[in-house]
Chain A
Amino acid sequence: MNKLSIAIIGVLLTIVVVACAAPATQPPPQPPAPTSPPQIIKETVVIQGTPQVVEKVVTATPEPPKPTEAPKRPNIVRVNFGVGDVPTLDPNVAEDTSSITVIDNSNIGLTRLDEVTNELYPGMAESWDVSADGKTYTFKIRDGIAWVKWNGNEVVKVQTCPDQDGKTKDRTVTAKDFEYGILRALKPETASPYAYVLGFVLEGANDYNSGTITDTAKVGVKAIDDKTLEVKFLEDTAYNSMIMGLWTAYATPQWVIEGDDCNEARGERWIEPGFYQSYGPYTLKEWVHDTSLDMVKNPFWPGIKGIPQPKVDQVHFTMLDESPAMAEFEAGNLDAVGVPSGDLDRVKADANLSKLLKVAPVLCTYYAGYNTKAKFVENVHIRRALSYAIDRQGLIDNVLKGGQIPAGYFARPGIVAAPNPKDYPDLGAKFDKAKAKEELELGLKDLGITADKLDITYMFNTSSGHQKIAEFFQQQWKENLGIDVKLTNQEWKVFLETIKSKDTPQIWRLGWCLDYPDANNFTREVMAVNGSSNPAENGMPYGGINWKNDKFEELVKQASVEKDVKKRTDLYAQAEQILNVEDPAIIPVYWYSRNTVTQPWVKRTFSVGGHEFFYNWEVGQ
């Protein structure tokens, strides 16, 4: 039975039931009336941002209330997560920014990347040896790092079960804890969304995760002793050590999750306050679901290179929509928030708020994909013409206004081995009206039609933000090429299914943010055959960009095993030139940025990954 017929039966049943039940009962209930679609919420942003409200707000900001000013300011940072509960604090299954923020502040991986430069340095592994073939890594785990928890009053070291004499000792993080965490993430029953990243690189990991093998001894991770972890990789790649620093591969406390002689098994509920155990600079203190979460400083974290002892005692997260959060910031109750796009003009124009505003890069790319096998856009000249005809800077200046950067290619500069526009000024697609017109003529000649016969549709997911961008594209194509492109939109989940199906529309939008900061995570994992936006069956693409370019495949494969960063960057640059210009499969649009306001007394860093590292923050007076 297909989905359509199920839906029809559903509707018919509704009618039948209404007819039957009407005399004695109320009609089948509808979802509550006041629930309006989310887009309307955006309008409140506009309402709050009207100039009248603004000026009044401003007068309130410059002088925070005196009583909090006179005594010493509490050493707490208050920030907002965005609306909705934190999905999980379990490193092995986390996949979203809020979860990872808490996890990365309270746990450390074998390796850790610098939050701004993405430079790799040792984390819980103080050093590691690599075998001659580059496939076996032997990590040496740091000595004496204690597992800790919040006991209701303070942070305490976790104790082992009493021995025969009734004595306990501190539990420290061992290689076995890492082995347990990695195997747990890969276990099919755990159903960890990010297990596939480990599956790509670890020996036997993919087979174990997909249930082909059940013997964990065949998975390439083994604790030799408490301090030595041996990891076997499939290939000698440049990013092996980086992936071992991914949260999915963190150590987790088996004794809490599965229980032991002195702990009751907590299963998936081990992450609740009072049970959560971690070993990083912070640990969980309180978590009121859907409302707030508090992290508290772990005094037993010794401080290592790049991960110092925290200066801020406590971090308080709220879970508010961005507009209420902005109101709380202006009322002095939050220390750092993202500025809602509707408030940006007002904040920039305001003498005080504009001083607190900072635009920081975010490692994500907004792009439009072509179904390269679809009618009209199967022609390479048409695809180039459509891409050249869009004035990205104009979009940013007139529509987005958030300090985004025009993108010429897909891999976001700032990640390892991604080409930088400074070093590759001519790389990628750029706005060029004359060239666009030229390519259009070539394309029309190939197709043997005139411009008015072109029938092209651009699809986006229903949202006022994407709608504005789509309308800008439509107007640019009309103005610069003289062609009419149709716009259509679908609800998010329906859209996702459509653009990865055999009926993928001619042009569609999507964004991509990093999982780990390497160009491999962008150029190869998204665009190569079987990549995230190029679904394939038996090596043949059927949806998404629907694109197979042998030279591109060869280049990204070569780049993944090349060791020299400069050479890798060069290989990715060549691959990007194919992807965006020679045989374009996408229209790169912009690289993301974020706009944040921070209270003047907070000294902070801006993580390029989008989740903050509070051990680098400080509260001044």
Chain B
Amino acid sequence: MGRFIVRRLLWMFLVLFVVSLITFLLMHGVPGGPFDSEKALPAEIKKNLEAKYHLNEPLWRQYLFYLYDVTVPRVTTEKPSTSLLDSYLIEAKLGNVYFRWMNFGPSYASKTRTVNDIFRDNLPISFQLGILAVIFALAIGVPLGVLAALRQNTWVDYLTMGVAIFGVSVPAIVLAPILVALFAVELRWLPATGWGAKPPFLLGFIPANLAPDFFRYALLPAIALGMAGSAVFARLTRASLLQVIREDFIRTARAKGLAERTVIVRHALRNALIPVTTIIGPYFAAVVTGTFVIELIFGIPGLGRYFVTSVTNRDYPVIMGTILLYAFVLVIANVVVDIVYAFLDPRIRVQ
């Protein structure tokens, strides 16, 4: 197992390197630059801006600078400068030695923040929302799927799958405004916009104050975001469980005289959850790194918007940062999924 994880992590570095190179080339290959605007800036002003952010260097040097800033730790006794170009994600001070690592660069669109600031302040909020949405999707989806499979071709099955079809086909962009209009504007039970936690966060991502207010803000967006996922999980659980129930080892388990409950929970469901686990990886990565639509409609200060605005603004460091972060979370999530496989299915462990 240890060797397996190490090998996967080594692969991860290669993947991140290649993703960074492709993203870098694509974003510089697209016409238009960060300082083009409706009001054309005079040439000297543009030159000053480009010099400030080292955009006047040849592309290959810019890329090497970026790699160097992100990967190579700095150990120095000098006091760090206050420049936004000199901001590191990990900073520590031992005696009079400063250890600093991972500089993802400044945001061009915001003149006062760095990509690190965005990671620190916005990512945790998307993460909190994403975790709640994943929990909602699993808590609703898996039991419904099991229920539908066990009561196959009864009204329970039809109803559950009907609801699932509805969940898949009604996108968040439709569901979210309806939830707001109903529960926030009409009934006024819940707030229409906002998020119940703000930086700084415990351990970097846990809300400092888990008051009921936090859940009042989180309820509607988590439902809107998790709805589609719960429908997918329900359909997948049902299909997969129906297949497993017909396997020989289930017949054997029943023949041994095990209680039906034990047969389903310990033998059938455990195997049926393998396909579900497979899609949780990418689903998790997509949801916890922020979702544009939900965050916009509910006015949540998450990371999702930055995936879109960074591209439209040609905010190069933010594009690089968000894409690399997404790649990182995706790879990690998949490694975790592989480890979970091993617990669900002993045959995989042997391999």
Contact = CB atoms under 8 A, between A and B. Distances in A.
Given A60-B188, A289-B117, A532-B39, A196 B44 contact: yes
B203 interface: no
A210 B45 CA distance: 7
A439 interface: no
B298 A324 contact: yes
A8 B30 CA distance: 11
Contact of A56 (B21, B109, B181, B299): B181
A48 interface: yes
Closest 10 CB pairs of A and B: A493-B32, A267-B82, A7-B29, A290-B301, A10-B25, A210-B44, A88-B111, A6-B29, A35-B292, A191-B52
Contacts of B109: 87
B291 interface: yes
Nearest to A498: B31
A496 interface: yes
A269 B45 contact: no
A291 interface: yes
B53 to A, nearest CB: 8
Contacts of B291: 32, 34-35
Given A40-B173, A268-B111, A269-B82, 15 more contacts: A35-B292, A44-B176, A44-B177, A57-B185, A84-B305, A192-B48, A210-B48, A269-B112, A288-B199, A324-B296, A327-B181, A331-B188, A493-B33, A493-B312, A497-B31
Interface in A260-305: 265-269, 271-272, 288-291
A93 B180 CA distance: 38
B297 A44 contact: yes
Contacts, number: 271
Contacts of B65: none
Contact of A38 (B11, B299, B308): B308
B289 to A, nearest CB: 6
B18 A21 contact: yes
A106 interface: no
Taking each of B33, B178, B286, which has the highest tally of chain A beta carbons within 10 Å of its own beta carbon? B286
B206 interface: no
Interface stretch (B88-96, B190-198, B264-272): B190-198
A405 B121 CA distance: 43
A351 interface: no
B330 interface: yes
- The contact size tier of chain B is 35 or more
B36 interface: yes
Interface stretch (A22-30, A138-146, A416-424, A589-597): A22-30
B167 to A, nearest CB: 14
Nearest to B41: A193
Interface in B20-53: 21-22, 25-26, 28-33, 35-42, 44-45, 47-49, 51-52
Interface string B196-228: 001100000000000000000000000000000
B195 A291 contact: yes
Interface in A368-419: none
Interface string A599-618: 00000000000000000000
Interface stretch (A117-125, A163-171, A315-323): A315-323
A596 to B, nearest CB: 19
A321 B112 contact: no
B292 A494 contact: no
A533 interface: yes
Given A29-B323, A40-B293, A191-B48, A493 B195 contact: no
Interface in A9-59: 9-11, 13-14, 17, 21, 24-26, 28-29, 31-38, 40-41, 43-44, 47-48, 53, 56-57
